[in-house]
Amino acid sequence: MTSHASVTAVTLPADLGPDDVVLLGWPVAHSRSPAMHAAAAAHLALSLRYRALAVAPEELDAVVDALGAAGIRGANVTVPHKRAVVGHCDVLTDEARLVGAVNTLTWERSGEGVVLEGHNTDAIGLAAALAEDVVALAGVPVLLVGAGGAARAAAVALARTGARVTVTGRDPQACAGVLDVVRAVDASGTSAVGVVDLLEDAALRAAIEAATVVINATSVGLRGDHLPDPLESLQAHQAAYDLVYGIDTPFLAAARDAGAAAHDGLGMLVHQAAASFARWTGVPAPVAVMRDAAQR
Ligand code: NDP
C-alpha cells in the first residue's frame, strides 16, 4: 500500500478510485456500515466498494483533501467528525445546514472542477425508523433527551411529524439550540414546547409523565451507564426509543420491564445508510438487505 496523502499519518489504500466510498470515524472498527453497504452493492450487482478508515481528529482535513484527489465517489462521516467536516465542504445541503452536521460526503466532478458536497441523512433515517416503529406522531408529546448532533437530527425528524417536542439535557443552552431547530422546521409554531433541565428531578418527572414517547439521543447507555432515575421509570402506555444500537441499554431494559414499547437505534442506522447509498449510486437502496446485514 502506498499513500495518496503524504501530509497525513493515515495510510490510504493505494487503489482508491471512482467505485470507492469510505467511512471516516475514530474509532470505526465496530461499525456496521461496511457490512450494510457491501450487502446492498452485492444485491444490486453494483461495483461500489465501502471501507472504514480510522482517522484521528487532527488528520481529518488532510484525509478529506487526499480522498478528493484520489477521485473517490463519496464518504460517510461519523463520531467525532460530523461537525468538524462541515467547514471543509464547498456546499452544504439544506438538510446538513439544518442539522448543523454532515454524515454524507459526495465529490461532484464536472468540467469546472470538483465540488465537495456535505449532506446529512440522520433525520431522514430516524423519520423512516419512527414511521416503522411508532404510530403517527402528529400532536403527540415527545421528550427528546440530549443536545448533540443526533438530538438535532431527531429534532428535525420530529418537527416534520408535527410531534410536540420538549428537549432535556444537562446543558440548557444547548437544549435551547435544539428547540430552535424544531422551530426552524415547524412553520406552524406548535411543535416546540420547551426545555427541561435533565438534572432537575421534579421538572424531569413532570416532563416524562406528560410524554407519550421518550427518545434518548445521548450516548448514555453505550457502556451500560444510566440516565437519571426518572427516565428508568416509564409506564406501559409509553414508548422508549434509544438512538444507541446493538446494546440493550438500561433505559430500554427498564422501559421493556415496565411493559412499554422499546426500540433501539438500529432502524435509524439502516435508514440513514440507505439514504446515503441512494445518494452515491442514484438507485434506491435495498433496505431489507441492509437491515439483515446490520443485524448479522
Ligand atoms: P454528541 O457527542 O454530539 O452528543 C452527545 C450528547 O449526549 C450530548 O448532548 C451530551 O451532553 C450527552 N451526554 C453525554 N454524556 C451524558 C451524561 N452522562 N448525561 C447526560 N447527557 C450526556 O453525540 P451524537 O449526538 O452524535 O450521538 C449521540 C448518540 O446517538 C451516540 O450514542 C450515537 O452512537 C447515537 N447515534 C445513533 C445513530 C443511529 O443511526 N442509530 C446516528 C447518530 C448517533 P453534553 O453536551 O452535556 O456533554
- CATH code assigned to 123-267: 3.40.50.720
Angle between helices 33-43 and 287-295 (to 10 degrees): 140
Confidence of residue 35 (pLDDT cuts 50, 70, 90): very high
Q: Write down the pLDDT at residue 135.
A: 77
Q: Is the pLDDT of residue 46 over 60?
A: yes
Could you give the residue range(s) of every CATH 3.40.50.720 domain in the chain? Answer: 123-267
Give the Å distance between the CA of 131 and the centre of ligand 1.
22
**Which positions are catalytic?**
82
Model pLDDT, residue 184: 96
CATH 3.40.50.10860 boundaries in the chain = 20-120
Quickly state the pLDDT bin for 200 (edges 50, 70, 90). Answer: very high
Of 272, 211, 215, 296, the closest CA to residue 249 belongs to 215
Say yes or no to pLDDT of 5 above 50: no
Residue 111: per-residue pLDDT:
87
- In the reported structure, the alpha carbon of residue 132 is separated from the centroid of ligand 1 by a whole-number distance in angstroms of 23
Which pLDDT band, with edges at 50, 70 and 90, does 133 fall under?
confident
Which residue's CA is the closest to the ligand 1 atom numbered 22? 218
If you average pLDDT over residues 222-241, what whole number do you get?
A: 96
Tell me the mean pLDDT in the region 256-285. Answer: 98
> For strand 91-92 and strand 261-263, is the pairing parallel, antiparallel, or unpaired?
unpaired
Q: Confirm or reject: Cβ of 154 under 6 Å from ligand 1.
A: no
Check whether 1 has a pLDDT greater than 80: no
219 lines ligand 1 (CB under 6 A): yes
> How confident is the model over 183-192, as pLDDT tens digits?
999 989 999 9
Confidence at 237, pLDDT banded by 50, 70, 90: very high
**120, 151 Cβ separation under 8 angstroms:** no
Q: Which CATH superfamily is domain 20-120 in?
A: Leucine Dehydrogenase, chain A, domain 1 (3.40.50.10860)
Mutate to test the pocket of ligand 1, among 219, 243, 247, 251 (most ligand atoms within 8 A of CB): 219
Identify which of 99, 173, 218, 277 to mutate to test ligand 1's pocket (most ligand atoms within 8 A of the CB): 218
Nearest-CA neighbor of 155 among 122, 203, 199?
122
The three three-digit cell numbers of residue 260, written as one number: 412499554
Cell numbers linked to 10: 493515515
Q: Looking at residue 3, what is its pLDDT?
A: 42
| Bridge partners, 240 (sequence order) | 214, 262
Whose cell is 414508548? That residue is 239
Q: Average model confidence (pLDDT) for the chain?
A: 95
- Give the distance (Å) from ligand 1 centre to CA of residue 76: 18
Write the residue with the smallest CA distance to atom 17 of ligand 1: 220
Question: What average pLDDT score do residues 81-102 get?
Answer: 97
Cβ of 149 less than 6 Å from ligand 1: yes
Is the pLDDT at 7 greater than 60? The verdict is: no
Atom 34 of ligand 1, residue of closest alpha carbon:
244
Distance between CA 44 and CA 48 in Å, rounded? 10
Q: How far apart are the CA of 45 and the centre of ligand 1, in A? A: 36
